[in-house]
Each structure stands twice: as structure tokens, then as C-alpha cells.
Structure 1
């Protein structure tokens, strides 16, 4: 029997979000119904509200979530009712050309629920990143529900589903940071701070946090940054070189995704250093670099999609690191809020007042 629940819906481009009643169907083959316990407010949700990703309104927002499996559909064996899960927006299909090559973190046909969630009049909702978890219940593909240790608090665990995984994975999975490496991270929001934490956990010797907001730089130190640079009045490339004996860093991570931060990351690398871009640019942005510099500096430039993660492997690992006291997920949680406070949380996020607001149901 379909379920009527409260949820946060973006009805039209740029308009404030609304708490509406939506209809969530029972799970069909390969689907899972989840009782949502917590869901972080991510910049991506704001991008959906503003129509910056697609124009498929209305959107059911929220994707950085944890909860408990309520029901499973036919053929589901990965999880069962009562399991505690973190939701992933990548669920590898196992059969596309990337999966067949042993690279499921690049899956080209990631699974989502086949049935739409709807408004009461039958209007289908577009679920943010195939999840839609600013809701009391949500319907996802079974592969999106990743079982983790139930000892993890929901408001902390859910953040692994997006921002923490993206940043941590940019440093560890894409950047391959190792013992003794030097790392610079541009942009100290949730993704950047997770990259800092990941670099420190994997043995980086020097981790330089770069931002234009001293409040964010103070927070970055909590995640392990050994040095901070406020680039509002300082050339960050020169500052990084001074901190690294004139050489530059082994790994530069752009967690902002703008042409100017990309260029800064490019030039603050040591020779043969690696640049990882995890910040998401807008479609109209362009970069221009002297080709001789691209050639002569060597190294590599990589983009990091979702931290190049494999959720079934990486989510339980990060939750275990949290439970062991090695990864402070609580430090990412600035406040807990109710469903009807999401629009207010967007404003706080835009003004840089919070690292993460988390809806707790």
C-alpha cells in the first residue's frame, strides 16, 4: 500500500522549497523502502532548487542520508528490513563496460528506483541524485542502500553518503595520498575538510588549507590542517611554495571548482605533482593554460567523481573509522534541524555560516 509522507519539494526554479505530502510506493523488484532518520543539506540540493542541474521540476530534494530499511521488493538480497543503511547515489550495475573492466566506481548505468515518488495528484517527482531523502520515507534501488554499523549516529552517518565521501575519496582514492606527502586543499567547506581529514588519516606530513574565510580555516585545523592560508589578500601559490621549501605540494585538491582555483592548484604543485578537481564547476566555465606548462610540469590532472568511491566498500570503512575515533564525523554537523527549516538552512549555507545543517526525522 502506498505511503503518504511529508517531504521537501522544489516546485519551480528559484522558488523557496515547500514541505508537501508525497506518495511513496511499495518497493518493486530490486527496490528498497527506507525510513529516513537524517539527511544533510548539501550544495547540490540548492543547485537542484535553482535549476542549475536539470529543469525536471518538481524535485524531491535530499540525498545525504541514513535510515532503516522498512521493506524490500522481490529479488532483494543485499539488505533486509531493520538494516541500518547509508544511501548512495552510485549503485554500480555490474554489467556496463566500466564495471566489466573492474572499475565500478565509474559505472555508466548506476541504478535507481524504477518507480517514481509522486505528489498526491500523481505528478512524478524527480529525486535529487536518484534518492530524494528530505522525506520521512524514500524509495531507492537496493544497491543504493549500503548496510553499515548501527552504532553510528544517524546525523553523522548520513554525511558519508555524499560530501564526506567525495572529499575523503578525492584525497585517498583519486589522489592516492600516502605517508610523508604534502597536500594543499583549496576550499574548506564540507568536501574540502573531508579531503583534509582523509589526507591526514593516510599519513600526509603537511596539509595546507586554503580559503578566503578565516572561520572556515579555523574549522580546517580541527580536521588536521597543519597550515592555513587566507587567499583573500595573499597569493596562495606563493604561500604554498614558501611552506614547501619553494617546491610546491605533491597533491593539490581543488574543492571549489572555479577556473581561478583550478589554475592556483595547477601551479602550486611540485614538478610531477597531481591536481585533483573535486569541486563541481558550472557548464559555462572555461580554463586557459599555456600548453608548455602542462607539458613541462608533468604530473597529472584528474577529476574525482564522488571521490571515485565504491559505496559497498567505502561507506562501511568510513563508518568504522568514525566509530574507532579516527574520523570525527560529528565535527561536520553544525546544527540539526526539522524538515520545515531546509530553506533557512540553504541561506546559512550560502552565507558560509554552517558546515552542514542536518535534517533529523
Structure 2
């Protein structure tokens, strides 16, 4: 039987979010109902609310989530009721040209649950990133569920579902950071600090954090940065070069996603170094670089989408590293809140006062 639960929705563009009753259908073939334990408040949810993704209102917000499988639909054998899972927003198809070449992190045909969750009046909801986890329960495709150690704090595990994975993956997977590499990260919010944590895990040195906010630079040091650059007070490119023997960093990660910061990343890397874009630009942004500079610098310019992760490979590994004390994921959890506090958390996040607010359901 369909269930009526609570969920946080964005009904119209820019309007404050609402906590209301929603309807979760029984899982169909390939689908799973998950009881949500915790869900991080990500900037992407705010972007959905404000119309920056599309206009398919109302949205059921929330996507950085962990919880317990409650029920499964026909044909599901990858998870079973009682499994503790982290939700991901890219169930890979296994059949496209990327998947068939063993590169399913680039799957061109990812998918979500087929059925729709609704309001009590039958209005269909658009779940954020195909998840919709600011709710007591949600409906997802089985491929969006990754089993991890059930003894893990859900508030920590859920963050792997988006921002923290994107940041760690931008360093380790996309940037290929290795022991002894010099790394600079521009933008020290949740994603940037996760990139710093990933670089530290890989054995990089130095690890240079760049931001305009002294508080964010303090967070970066706590998560592994060896040096900081306040871009409000000094030229970031010159500072990074000065901290790397005048050459520039082996890998520079732009966790902001603006033409200005991407240009800084381009020029702040060593010759044949790598620049990684993990901050998400808006469609109107344009970039202009002298083509001769692109040719002369060599190296690689990469985009990191979801940290080029494979959830089944990366989520359990990172949870294990956390439980071994080698990856301080708990430091990303700034505050624990309830479903009633999501709108307030958006304001706190926008003001740069937290790394992550996490809804505990």
C-alpha cells in the first residue's frame, strides 16, 4: 500500500520550502523504498528551489542521504530490507558505450525510479537529483543504493552521496593526485575542503587552500591544508607559484566554478600540470584564454562530474577509511537539524557559516 510521510518541497521558484505530507508508492520493478536516517543540505537543493536546474516544480528536495532499505520491488537482488545504504544520483545502465568500455563513471544513460512520488492531491513531485531525501522515506532505483558498514553514523555516510564524494573524487579520481604532488584548491566550502581531504589522503604536499574567507581557510587547515592563501589580500596565482618553488602546483582544483577562478587554476599549475573543474558554472558563463597559452602550458584541463566516482567501489572504501580514522568525514558535519529547519539551513549555508548542515530524520 502507498504510504503517506513527511517531505520538504519547493512549490514555486524562490518561495520558502514547505514541510508537507507526500505519498510514497510501493516499489515497482527495480525500485526500492528507503527509510531516510540523515540527509545533508547541499547547495544544489537551494539551486533547485531557486529555479537554477529546471522549472519542473514542485520539487522534493534533498539528495545527500543515507538510510535503511524498507522494501524492494520485483527483480531487485542487489539490496534487501534492512540493508544500510548511501544513495547516489547516478544508477548506471551497464549497456551504453561508456559502460561497455569499463568506464561506467561516465555512463551516458543513467536513470532513476520510474514511478512518481506525489503530494496527497496527486500532484507529481520532481525528486532532486532523482532522490528526494528531505523526507521520512523516498523511492529510488535499486542502482542508486550502495551498501556500506551499518555501524557508520548516517550523518557522515550520507555526505558521500554528493558534495564530499565530488570533492574527494576531483583530487583522487579526476586529478590523479599522488604522493608528493603539490596541490592547490580554489574555494574552500564543502566540496573544496573534501578535495583537500582527498589530497591529504593521497599523500600530497604541499596542499594549498585558496579562499577569500578566513573562516573557510581555518576549516581547510583542519582538513589537511598545509598552506593558505587569502585571495582577498593577495594574488592567488602568484601565491601558489611562490609556495611551489616558482613553478605552480601539479594539480589545481577549482571548486568555485567561475571564469575568474578557472583562469586562476589554469595559470597556477606547473607546466604540464592538471587543472580540474569541479565547481559547477552557470549556463551563461563564458571563458576566454589565449590559445597560445593553452598550447604552451600543455598538461590537462579536466572536468570532474560527481568526482568521477563509482559508488559501489568508492563509498564503502571511504566509509572504511573513515572508520579507521584515516579520513575525517565527521568534520564536515557542522550541525544536525530537523526537517523543519531546512529553509533556515539554506540561509546559513548561503552565508558561509557551515560546511554541512545535516537533517536527522
Q: CA offset at residue 111 of structure 1?
A: 2.1
- Indicate the SS of the match to 1:217: helix
Describe the superposition over 1:103-136 as per-residue Cα deviations: whole angstroms up to 9, x where unpaired: 1001111120000000011110000000000000
Is 1:10 matched with 2:10?
yes
Which residue of 2 is the match for residue 250 of structure 1?
250
Q: Mapping of 1:61-76 within 5 angstroms?
A: 61-76=61-76
Partners in 2 of 1:243 and 1:142 — Cα distance? 47
Question: Alignment partner of 1:160: what SS?
Answer: helix
What is the alpha-carbon distance in structure 2 between the residues aligned to residue 355 and residue 201 of structure 1?
19
Q: Does 1:84 align with 2:84?
A: yes
The equivalences for 1:336-351 within 5 A come to 336-351=336-351
RMSD: 0.5
1:236 aligns with 236
The Cα of 1:233 is off from its aligned counterpart by: 1.6
- Cα distance in 2 for residues equivalent to 1:244 and 1:97: 40
Q: CA deviation at 1:100?
A: 1.0
Q: What is the SS of the residue equivalent to 1:152?
A: coil
Q: Structure 1 stretches (4+) deviating beyond 6 angstroms?
A: none
The equivalent residue for 1:195 is 195
2-structure distance, mates of 1:314, 1:302: 20
- Distance in 2 (alpha carbons) for counterparts of 1:310 and 1:329: 18
Pair 1:111 & 2:143 matched: no
Structure 1 partner of 2:26: 26
Deviations 1:13-55 (A, max 9, x none): 0000000100000100000000000000000000000000111
- For the residues of structure 2 that align with 1:153 and 1:180, how far apart are their CA atoms? 32
Structure-1 separation of matches of 2:192 and 2:180? 20
Q: Secondary structure at the match of 2:193?
A: helix
Task: Give the whole-Å Cα distance in 2 for the aligned partners of 1:323 and 1:111.
Answer: 31
Count how many residue pairs are aligned between Structure 1 and Structure 2: 361
Q: Secondary structure at the match of 1:46?
A: helix
The alpha-carbon deviation at position 102 of structure 1 amounts to: 1.2
Written as runs of structure 1 = structure 2, the 5 A alignment for 1:294-313 is 294-313=294-313
**Range moving further from structure 2, 100-109 or 179-188:** 100-109
Q: C-alpha distance in 1, partners of 2:150/2:38?
A: 13
3-state SS of the aligned residue for 2:285? coil
1:176 and 2:173 are equivalent in the alignment: no
